[in-house]
Chain A
Amino acid sequence: MTELALLFVASVLVNNFVLSRFLGICPFLGVSKKTETALGMGFAVVFVMCVASIVTWFIQRYLLYPLGLGYLQTIAFILVIASLVQLVEMVVQKVSPALYQALGIFLPLITTNCAVLGVAVLNIQKDYGFVETVVFSVGAALGFTLAIVLFAGLRERLDLSDVPKAFEGTAIALVTAGLLSLAFMGFAGLAK
Chain B
Amino acid sequence: MIEAALVLGGIGFLAALGLGAASIKFHVETDPRVEEVAEALPGVNCGACGLTGCNALAEAIVAGGALPNACIPGGEDVSKNIATIMGLDAEKAEKFIAVLHCKGVHGKAIDKGQYLGIPDCRAAALVLSSPKGCNYGCMGLGTCERSCPFDAIHMGDKGIAVVDAEACTGCGSCVRACPKSILDLRPLSMNVHIRCNSPLSGKQIKALCSVGCIGCGRCEKICPVEAISMSRGLAIIDAEKCVDCGMCAQVCPTSNIDDALAPRRDLLIEEEKCIGCTKCAKVCPVDAIEGEKKEVHKIHQEKCIGCQRCVQVCPVDAVMLGAERPKPGAKKKTSEAATDG
Contact = CB atoms under 8 A, between A and B. Distances in A.
Contacts of A87: 18-19, 22
Contact of B26 (A67, A80, A93): A93
Contacts of B16: 83
A91 interface: yes
Given A63-B7, A93-B28, A79 B22 contact: no
B19 A86 contact: yes
A91 to B, nearest CB: 6
A83 B18 contact: yes
A90 B7 contact: no
Interface stretch (A2-10, A36-44, A69-77, A128-136): A69-77
Given A86-B19, A87-B22, A93-B28, A69 B3 contact: yes
A59 interface: yes
20 contacts: A59-B11, A63-B7, A64-B7, A67-B7, A69-B3, A69-B4, A72-B4, A72-B7, A75-B8, A76-B8, A79-B12, A79-B15, A80-B15, A82-B15, A83-B16, A87-B18, A90-B23, A90-B28, A91-B26, A94-B28
Contacts of B26: 90-91, 93-94
A87 B16 CA distance: 10
A79 B14 CA distance: 11
Interface in A56-110: 59, 63-64, 67, 69, 72, 75-76, 79-80, 82-83, 86-87, 90-91, 93-94, 97
B19 A83 contact: yes
Nearest to A68: B3
Contacts of A76: 7-8, 11
For the residues of B in contact with A, the DSSP-based class is helix
Contacts of B12: 79
Interface in B209-250: none
A99 to B, nearest CB: 13
Interface string A8-30: 00000000000000000000000
B8 A67 contact: no
A92 B321 CA distance: 67
A53 B12 CA distance: 17
Nearest to B16: A83
B148 to A, nearest CB: 28
Contacts of A83: 15-16, 18-19
A88 to B, nearest CB: 10
A127 to B, nearest CB: 21
B92 to A, nearest CB: 34
Contacts of A80: 11, 15
Contacts of B8: 72, 75-76, 79
Nearest to A67: B3
A115 B135 CA distance: 54
A32 B208 CA distance: 53
Interface string B137-180: 00000000000000000000000000000000000000000000
A176 B276 CA distance: 76
Given A69-B7, A72-B4, A90 B22 contact: yes
Query: Which of A59, A82, A86 has the most chain B CB atoms inside 10 A of its CB?
Result: A86
Interface string B307-340: 0000000000000000000000000000000000
Nearest to B24: A90
